């Protein structure tokens, strides 16, 4: 958890940024299983900013699980829904936005999110991702039966995450509280630019 003084600094910074139209959102990007939702929930609790999870908002709007959207309509359709959800989230101020792992595939998404947010790349090794995601049936693009395909997908997105990021936080061998503190410390710096 954040120290009270850190929380007060964040609230003060957010108010000032709202008045000056600076970036007030913390946008979490990274591969599936990098901790975007987990860290988003921690930051929501610590800062008082509201969490918007892009994948969850798509599921709520469509009343369909992500995996089923992929199975029924394909990835291209899902990406259109994702961009619509990004448009809604990016218009909001003073939020924590947890994106899906493929949000960086469309430059339009990155541009929208960067207008009001500081992009934080939660960087994890493929080995760590496999430990966190392996065996779950909820990840449509992560097939544990074909780990080489999952690793190729992981590698194909690394440059996109790095290019989009304002802040990079290596999450391997770090607890969620440590990751949260690193994000907030760097958010203060980036938000003032």
> How sure is the predictor about 132, in pLDDT bands with cuts at 50, 70 and 90?
confident
pLDDT in the model for residue 107: 97
| pLDDT, tens digit, 9 for 90 and up, residues 89-107 | 999 999 999 999 999 999 9
| pLDDT, tens digit, 9 for 90 and up, residues 49-62 | 999 999 999 999 99
Q: Between 11 and 70, whose confidence is greater?
A: 70
Q: What is the mean pLDDT of the chain?
A: 86
Lowest mean pLDDT, pick from 10-24, 125-139, 169-183: 10-24
CATH topology of domain 22-191: Rossmann fold (3.40.50)
Domain boundaries, given as residue ranges, for the chain: 22-191
pLDDT in the model for residue 21: 53
| pLDDT, tens digit, 9 for 90 and up, residues 142-180 | 555 567 888 898 999 999 999 999 999 999 989 999 999
Give the number of C-alpha atoms closer than 13 A to the C-alpha of residue 192, restricted to the C-beta side: 10
Q: Between 123 and 140, whose confidence is greater?
A: 123
The listed range with the strongest mean pLDDT (32-36, 127-131, 132-136) is 32-36
Mean pLDDT of 116-122: 96
pLDDT in the model for residue 111: 97
pTM: 0.86
| pLDDT, tens digit, 9 for 90 and up, residues 24-43 | 999 999 998 899 999 999 99
């Amino acid at each position: 958890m954040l120290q009270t003084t850190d929380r007060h600094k964040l609230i003060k910074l957010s108010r000032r940024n709202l008045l000056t139209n600076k970036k007030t959102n913390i946008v979490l990007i990274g591969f599936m299983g990098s901790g975007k939702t987990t860290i988003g929930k921690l930051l929501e609790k610590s800062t008082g900013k509201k969490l918007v999870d892009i994948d969850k908002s798509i599921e709520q709007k469509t009343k369909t699980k992500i995996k089923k959207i992929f199975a029924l309509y394909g990835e291209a359709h899902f990406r259109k829904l994702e961009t619509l959800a990004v448009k809604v989230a990016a218009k909001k101020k003073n939020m924590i936005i947890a994106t899906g792992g493929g949000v960086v595939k469309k430059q339009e998404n990155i541009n929208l999110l960067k207008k009001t947010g500081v992009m934080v790349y939660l960087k994890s090794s493929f080995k760590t991702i496999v430990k966190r995601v392996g065996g779950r049936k909820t990840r449509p693009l992560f097939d544990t039966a074909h780990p080489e395909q999952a690793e190729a997908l992981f590698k194909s997105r690394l440059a996109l995450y790095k290019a989009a990021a304002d802040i990079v936080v290596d999450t391997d061998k770090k607890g969620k509280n440590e990751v949260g503190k690193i994000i907030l410390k760097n958010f203060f710096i980036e938000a003032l630019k």
